[in-house]
Amino acid sequence: MLKRLPRVVREQQMLDAAVQVFSRRGFHAASMDEIAEVAGISKPMVYAYLGTKEELFLTCLRREATRLMEAVAAGVRPASRPDEQLWNGLRAFFAFVGAHRDGWRVLYRQARSEPHFAGELAGMRARIVEVVASLLEGACAQAEAAKPARPDDFLAMAYAYVGAAESLADWLADHEEEDPEHTATRMMNFVWVGADALLQGRVWRAQAE
């Protein structure tokens, strides 16, 4: 049955199996034998199609990162207000994690723990941070009471928000009973309530001793 499928379909089935195994076992403990068994295909065919275990892991990582980026980009549709764009992006992000928990574990847990693959993850995060920073800068431009901010301020805020979203997504991956949209609402409340105050020029200052 598998042999009669188009090559691209066979490859996707093998990648699905590999993501499942890598998610559960980790890169080092995962075996090509188990990946082949889960895919329902011979181990030599896995090697023939997707190369060594290292090459296979890298292919899985890039596929999941591309899927995530495409989901977020599709979610951040042009909208009348930057907060709507951010909300749409968060919904898309957490919906992806909820639907691809194994893929998220490979991206967030397995890749970051392996120095050889960490660069791939860093590149993906940098692109997401740029999107969030751009949204915050756009919001500041539209806020009448906003005080001028330096580009580094938006970038620092974006890194903080992306880091928080990643941690919450990692929690979501382990709680299948959690609704991804409810998780997105929690994150939006955390992000926008604080961001909106900052954009209006309200900041916390330490009391003088």
pLDDT band at 1 (very low <50, low <70, confident <90, very high): very low
In tens, the pLDDT along 170-209 reads: 999 999 999 999 999 999 888 777 666 666 666 667 666 5
Q: What three-state secondary structure class fits 3?
A: helix
pTM as predicted? 0.82
End-to-end CA gap in the chain: 75
For all residues of the chain together, what is the average pLDDT? Answer: 84
Task: Tell me: pLDDT of 35 over 90.
Answer: yes
Burial zone of 172 (CB within 10 Å; 0-12 exposed, 13-18 middle, 19+ buried): buried
- Sign of the alpha-carbon dihedral angle for 92, 94, 95, 101: positive
Is 2 or 39 the better-scoring residue by pLDDT? 39
CATH number for the 62-199 domain, one of 3.40.50.12500, 1.10.357.10, 3.30.70.270, 3.40.50.620?
1.10.357.10
Pick the CATH number of 1-51 from 1.10.10.10, 3.30.70.1520, 1.10.10.60, 3.30.70.940: 1.10.10.60
Cα–Cα distances in Å, from 58 out to 65, 70, 85? 10, 18, 31
List the chain domain ranges: 1-51, 62-199
pLDDT tens readout for residues 8-20: 788 899 999 999 9
Consecutive H or E run containing 160: helix 151-173
Q: What is the mean pLDDT of residues 154-171?
A: 90
Least confident piece of the model among 23-32, 123-132, 146-155: 146-155
118-144 mean pLDDT: 77
Number of C-beta neighbours around residue 111 at 10 A: 25
Report, as an integer, the average pLDDT of 17-29: 95
Once rounded to an integer, what is the mean pLDDT over residues 94-108? 94
Most confident of 66-75, 131-140, 185-194: 66-75
pLDDT for 200 equals: 65
Averaged over 21-49, what is the pLDDT?
A: 94
Q: Which of 111, 120, 75 is nearest to 93 (CA)?
A: 75
